[in-house]
Chains A and B, each alone.
Chain A
């Protein structure tokens, strides 16, 4: 079974702060990581490979330093990595990103499954997986929390809904987006990681020309949406702690609620 996994290198947002003047992320000193949902996608792919045989190819679009995400993926068991890196890709919205990833998948050629994380923790759009599926014209199953049965031509999956679960049978090839409940990602094996850093590592770097894309279709130029402004919302609400005897506190609370037309 040949599987393509789409991963993204993101800042570890538990540490991220916004510059109050520019509204942009302060990246200095912030660790970059593989997007958490994408680690689950990788684990799912490597598990399937170990069970069914085949090959796992990891694709990521990003700046040169995103090579670290690819190397780590190889340490987790992926067989091949492709970094899509070109100044022309910069500033891409989800449309242009999906187009670029779709072109790269077309260049890779044969695949049975494309697996993505549900969404990236920096953009939180959850649009890439579905858009890539549309570009490739393959069926998609989103919010996958269990891979139950894998045949040569179809796959049975459990997907999470707001109020329960759904069991879905889907023909192959298909695209899945997975959520964290699908598995527990392994730590990379150091031997694989060391190999991934070596000259003989099975990692390719492709630019726009390599995937046959025109610069007008990728990056900022190929984007249908543009970010006008980024800012950190100001929290205006302030809490107030009432102190004193219970009866007195309750009376004060009721008075304040009435005063603010809340009751």
Chain B
């Protein structure tokens, strides 16, 4: 039966969207540093925000591979838009989808796919980053639900989120086994947030601290089974890492595309700079890393789509592609020379935005340890 390849077509449509709608306004959006509502709505209209969810809950009926293709293409245009979209599609909504009631789906999940509500994911605390056992935000059982007290930080879409998936501790004596995620709407009494952080990169993305002061939520807002709270995170951890890897692939492509264009334009000593071997070496390294990274990433997305455990492969892909993207952005600024130091060219943005990828989905210092552990045990 003659049919099109959905991966090829989704990439083609997303690439056209990025070329026509994102890249022309990316510098302006980054300069303003405001949440790009109009592009977010357009992505919702295209069904991107529900790409990895089934149609029965208002999604587009796609999978992890198609989701990663979307965020990779968006990252080629504007990393912060890609990060916001990636958050909305995965971390902000997956717990709600898996453990939320039908009423919660109607009130929050479907509007999230339509771009009417923004979701956020609250993991990190000042003293609990990679070390989640140190989470201090406390969930206390009361007769008619739970009461949440504490604070979170580095929350993507935190200050503009309509609802939040929040990691809490239900019993400090139980350590990791006491952790539970709760669904907390932003209009819950006692919920508040700090001012938006002033950040080095991903400037249209809104990050802040979030505060919970006696936030009361009903029992059905506890996501998952008591004592199995970390499952919410572990279920999607490989996907979070591979999504981050695909953001890196998008950024690497942007840095490489701009470098190639500039290599052909810029003439020094009577020759295009792309004719010089040391410049060629930089392009060659970018190209090799890009091809290797794509192979790693889409091998993992297909494993996830086939329900094959692949956390270690996802960790390796995240580590490799993000390091490759950081290197490519650095090399791009060298190819551009002093012009990379000007805010006029996009390479400075790539150079600033690449730092974002180092932290989300696990720092590389932690990832290297966990990868090595697989081989040393």
Binding site for B on A (CB under 8 A): 31, 64, 67-68, 70-72, 75, 83, 85, 186-199, 201, 203, 205
A189 contact from B4, B46, B70, Cβ within 8 A: B46
CA distance A172 to B293 in the complex (A): 56
**Given contacts A187-B17, A188-B46, A193 and B10 within 8 Å (CB-CB):** yes
Q: In the complex, A94→B3 CA distance in Å? A: 27
Q: Is B144 an interface residue (CB 8 A)?
A: no
Closest B residue, CB atoms, query A64: B2
Expressed in whole angstroms, the Cα–Cα distance for A85 and B61 within the complex equals: 29
In the bound complex, residues from chain A placing their C-beta under 8 Å from that of B225 are none
Docked Cα-Cα span, A63 to B370, in Å, equals 50
A195 to B8, CA, bound (A): 14
Q: Which 7 A-B pairs have the closest CB atoms?
A: A191-B60, A197-B6, A71-B4, A190-B47, A191-B47, A189-B47, A190-B60
CA distance A178 to B60 in the complex (A): 31
Beyond A72-B13, A187-B42, whether A193 also contacts B2 by CB under 8 A is no
Residues of B at the A interface (CB closer than 8 Å) are 1-6, 8-10, 12-13, 16-17, 42, 45-48, 50-51, 55, 59-62, 66, 70
Q: 25 A-B pairs, CB-CB below 8 angstroms?
A: A31-B12, A67-B2, A67-B4, A68-B4, A71-B9, A75-B9, A187-B16, A187-B45, A187-B46, A190-B13, A190-B46, A190-B48, A190-B70, A191-B59, A191-B62, A194-B10, A194-B60, A194-B61, A196-B4, A197-B4, A197-B5, A198-B6, A199-B1, A203-B2, A205-B2
CA distance A192 to B48 in the complex (A): 12
B9 CB contacts on chain A under 8 angstroms: 68, 71-72, 75, 193, 196-197
CB distance from A14 to the nearest CB of B (A): 11
Q: Please give the distance in Å from B164's CB to the nearest CB on chain A.
A: 26
Assembled-state Cα–Cα distance A67/B9 (Å):
11
**Minimum CB–CB distance for B9 against chain A, Å:** 5
Point out the residues of chain A lying under 8 angstroms from B51, CB to CB.
190
Minimal beta-carbon separation of A211 from chain B (angstroms)? 17
Q: Are B3 and A191 in contact (CB under 8 A)?
A: no
Is the CB–CB distance between A194 and B46 below 8 Å? no
A21 to B270, CA, bound (A): 31
State how many angstroms separate the Cβ of B51 from the closest Cβ of chain A: 6
Instruction: Choose among A31, A71, A83, A189 the residue that contacts B60 (Cβ–Cβ < 8 A).
Output: A189
Across the interface, do A189 and B10 meet the contact criterion of CB distance under 8 Å? no
Task: Supply 4 further A-B pairs (C-beta < 8 A) apart from A31-B12, A190-B48, A197-B3.
Answer: A64-B2, A71-B4, A190-B47, A193-B6
Report B-chain residues with C-beta under 8 Å of the C-beta of A191: 47, 50, 55, 59-62
Give, as a whole number of angstroms, the nearest-CB distance from B123 to chain A.
Answer: 28
Q: Which residues of A contact B70 (CB under 8 A)?
A: 190
Q: For B59, what are the chain A residues with a Cβ–Cβ distance below 8 Å?
A: 191
Known contacts A71-B9, A75-B13; A189 and B45 CB within 8 A of each other: yes
The answer for the CA separation of A193 and B16 in the assembled complex, in Å, is 14
A198 smallest CB distance to B (angstroms): 7
Chain B nearest CB, measured from A133 CB (Å): 29
Using Cβ atoms and an 8 Å threshold, which residues of chain A touch B10?
A: 190, 193-194
Q: Which A-chain residue is minimally distant from B60 (CB atoms)?
A: A191
Verify A201–B60 contact, CB threshold 8 A: no
Closest to A71 in B: B4
The CA of A188 and the CA of B42, in the complex, are separated in Å by: 11
- Report yes or no: B45 in contact with A67, Cβ–Cβ below 8 A: no
Which A residues touch B48, using CB under 8 A?
190
What chain B residues lie within 8 Å of A83 (beta carbons)?
A: 2
- Distance A39 CA – B218 CA, assembled complex (angstroms): 49
Q: Complex: how many Å from CA A188 to CA B70? A: 13
